[in-house]
Amino acid sequence: MPEYERRTVFWKDDITDGNVSLRILNIRPSDEGQYTCLVDDDITSEAAVIELKVAALGSNPIISVEDYQKGGIRVTCRSAEWYPEPQVLWRNAQGHHIASLSEIKSPKVNGLFETEISVVINGHSNQNLSCWIRNSLLDQEKESAIHISALFFPSVNTWMVALSMILVIVLSFIILNIYLFRITGNLQQELGWKRAVICPGLGQTAPPLEKEDVTLDPDTAHPYLVLSEDGKSVRWTHTRQQLPKNPERFYTQSCVLGHEGFTSGRHWWEVEMGKGKYWAVGVAREFVRRKGEIRFNPEEGSWAVQRCKGQCKALTAPDPTPLPLDRECSRVRVYLDRAGGKVSFLNANTAAPIFTFPLASFTGERIQPWFWVVSGEVKLRQCQ
């Protein structure tokens, strides 16, 4: 085996005495594992299995004073050449554990670990501290200590504290005003659309807003999605279903389209997500990509909002737009205005706007309800 070349020595001289020892030189972490010793003299054959555990006691901890941080002094401890991953912590003069600011344990190319742990100490306590590193496999440890004189700690200036507080208050006031200004602008835009979809006769003549009784199209459902018999709900499963192959079916992403397709008018429907943590709802072009690399955004033919990894966002292009967490909801109302080129989302529980996509061109294909489900269940509600 190439990895053992010139690193092994077989003791042949004592083989007649039953000694078939193998010596491995320059031990590496990758040498860890089980080894089988097989002896065969054409009459009998014997084998034994031995497990090799690799351990390395690293270098002595080196403590360095880095800089001033958070009203104290940041101290860092570094050590290398440990295996397996060691236990590292700071201790005070009484031997009690001190919470660290940061801790890094990373293997190098040779598989041995190097560690770096930092702590911030102040002049009132923990001037005497030690960095303790332990190899649990060898049951051995190494420790280095340091004492930092109170002269090195920054003194508190009352005027500086007061000035800092004033600056924080002023900056907070400025940030709050900027945030309120942006929120006001967004609300004005969203409320304009909300007024258009709820009161279409206000100030202009608009097509009637149609309540749609949407059902799911099983011919488009990804093999990991299970649809209810009435086509009103879809859930994700760990088992891949054996479904007929057809060009309408999604194969890369767990998506499904609604039966209904819209070429004109203004429409809305309501979706309930329940406790699902990974979902997206919206609309898509009839011939949106089904296979290969799929990106969810208007440039690829879909307009939707998504909840994924604890975050809620609008799937805009080129990058998604994060949405405030207070706009997450378990029921979403989807509005589609073909003529106006708008897609909007409202919280069905509170009627609060969630997001409105900029004007889009829907010329050509039909626009269909679109769903993406990776956990939980999505249900279509009867519009009231």
Residue 323 scores a pLDDT above 80:
yes
Rounded Cα–Cα distance for residues 272 and 42 (Å): 74
Confidence (pLDDT) at 126 = 65
Looking at residue 230, the DSSP 8-state letter turns out to be T
The larger pLDDT score, comparing residue 326 to residue 19, is at 19
Helices (H), 153-230: 158-198
CB 76 within 8 A of CB 116: yes
Q: What is the pTM for the complete model shown?
A: 0.47
pLDDT above 70: percentage of residues in the chain:
89
Dihedral, CA atoms, 308, 309, 310, 316, nearest 10 degrees? -40
The pLDDT confidence band at residue 234, using thresholds 50, 70 and 90, is very high
Do 68 and 168 share a domain, yes or no?
A: no
Contact 132, 77 (CB under 8 A): no
Higher pLDDT, 149 or 155: 149
Backbone angles phi, psi at 333, to 5 degrees: -105, 125
357 & 250 share domain? yes
Residue 278, Cβ neighbours under 10 Å: how many?
A: 17
- Cα–Cα distances (Å) from 18 to 13, 15, 46, 170, in that order, read 10, 5, 12, 84
Instruction: Give yes or no for residue 58 having a pLDDT over 90.
Output: yes
Are 75 and 131 part of one and the same domain?
A: yes
Residue 284: helix, strand or coil by DSSP?
Answer: strand
Statement to judge: residues 17 and 124 lie in one domain:
no
Mean pLDDT of 291-310: 89
Three-class secondary structure of residue 138 per DSSP: coil
Peptide bond into 318 cis (omega under 30): yes
When comparing pLDDT for 163 and 284, which is higher?
284
Same-domain check for residues 240 and 327 = yes
Q: Could you tell me if residue 202 is inside a domain?
A: no
Mean pLDDT, the chain, as a whole number? Answer: 85
Q: 341's torsion region: left (phi>0), alpha (psi -120 to 50) or beta?
A: left
How confident is the model over 31-57, as a mean pLDDT? 88
Tens of pLDDT, residues 109-154: 889 999 999 999 876 666 789 999 999 999 999 999 998 887 777 6
Determine, yes or no, domain membership for 194.
no
Mean pLDDT of 157-179: 86
Q: Answer yes or no: do 373 and 235 share one domain.
A: yes
pLDDT, residue 293, reads 86
Residues 174 and 109 in one domain: no
What does the pLDDT read at residue 201?
45
Which residue among 152, 175, 201 closes a domain?
Answer: 152
Residues 236 and 349 in one domain: yes
Give the C-alpha separation, 295 to 279, whole Å.
15
Question: What would the two tokens of residue 358 be?
Answer: 């900029």
Residues 6+ apart with CB under 8 A from 61: 77, 78, 79, 131, 132, 133, 142, 143, 144
**Confidence bin at 200 (pLDDT 50/70/90):** very low
Confidence of residue 199 (pLDDT cuts 50, 70, 90): very low
Residues 146 and 162 in one domain: no
Please, which pLDDT band fits residue 202 given cuts at 50, 70 and 90? very low
For residue 167, what are the CA distances in angstroms to 69, 157, 158, 174, 344?
Answer: 19, 15, 14, 11, 40
Whether residue 26 is found in the same domain as residue 70: no
Residues 177, 214: one domain? no
Higher per-residue pLDDT: 161 or 267: 267
